[in-house]
Chain A
Amino acid sequence: MAALADPTRRAVFESLRHGPRPVGEIARGLPVSRPAVSQHLRVLKEAGLVRERREGTRNFYSVDGDALAELREYFEEFWEEALAAFKKAAEKGARYESADR
């Protein structure tokens, strides 16, 4: 699979990094025609890198990454770090508490 090997196709793919966009908007930022962009999007979609969603009369394209898995990974680590810091603070307090007695 060489879906990203073409530089223009890669540019099309990278233009989706900040969220879903319609074809016209993607094409505006690139020195290629709209049909060419559509063709690249079709290849990316077939490769499972991009997904398509219709909203009204426009088709929006977005990265078909495993966002959910990344979200889980990020927040599990987020809470692990936060709770570790909390534990330290709570136990420091508890030691002071018992030392006072």
Chain B
Amino acid sequence: MSQQTGELVIEKSVRVGASVERAFQVFTEQIHAWWPLQTHAVDTENSSTVTLEGREGGRLFELTTGGEEHVWGTVLAWEPPRRIGYSWHPGRGADTAQEVEVTFTPEGDGTRVGVRHWGWEKLGDRLDETVASYTEGWDIVLSRYADAVS
């Protein structure tokens, strides 16, 4: 299993009608303006904002309405306006972190923004637990296995 998790790389990209500089700035400095906290946060109910500190070693963290901080990761690469890299371990210890790389490439009069997300082998034995917590997937698991019963 750990071999397979090591091979898993999530890759997504989107083309935006904005300059590379603009896209980079919105992704980093203005992350609070667009990151979907209501679904993509540690404490989705109380999360109020997210901040990306724009420097190597800077933190990516969520702040709740109660003033609590949840660190999601640390900036590993800071190369404005073309590339950022950060570790990813929201709600978990840094020793179980994945890595995320975001690239900004000119495409026509816009920018191609690409995300790569890898390093899942670090979840180790916590894979099932993590997946269950992410997907609230126990119902999915059970419904899948319901087929096995019938």
Contact = CB atoms under 8 A, between A and B. Distances in A.
Interface of A: 1-5, 13, 17-20, 47, 49, 53, 60, 62-63, 65, 67-68, 70-76, 78-91, 93-94, 97
Contacts of B89: none
Interface in B71-126: 111, 113, 115, 117, 120, 125-126
A57 to B, nearest CB: 17
A28 B34 CA distance: 47
Contact of B128 (A19, A78, A91): A19
A82 B131 contact: no
A75 to B, nearest CB: 5
Contact of B22 (A62, A70, A94): A94
A70 B128 CA distance: 10
Given A4-B149, A68-B1, A81 B14 contact: no
Contacts of B65: none
A59 to B, nearest CB: 13
B128 A82 contact: no
Say what secondary structure dominates the interface of chain B: helix
A24 to B, nearest CB: 18
B57 interface: no
B40 A82 contact: yes
Contacts of A68: 1, 4-5, 8, 120, 127
A81 B126 CA distance: 25
Nearest to B100: A79
Which 10 pairs show the lowest CB-CB distances between chains A and B? Answer: A89-B34, A94-B18, A19-B129, A79-B12, A83-B14, A90-B26, A90-B18, A90-B16, A75-B10, A67-B131
Contacts of B16: 86-87, 90-91, 94
Contacts of B125: 19-20, 53, 60, 62
Interface string B38-81: 01100000000000000000000000000000000000000000
Given A5-B149, A53-B125, A65-B144, 19 more contacts: A2-B149, A3-B148, A3-B149, A19-B128, A47-B148, A49-B145, A63-B128, A70-B140, A71-B5, A72-B8, A82-B36, A83-B14, A86-B14, A87-B15, A89-B33, A90-B26, A90-B34, A90-B111, A94-B16
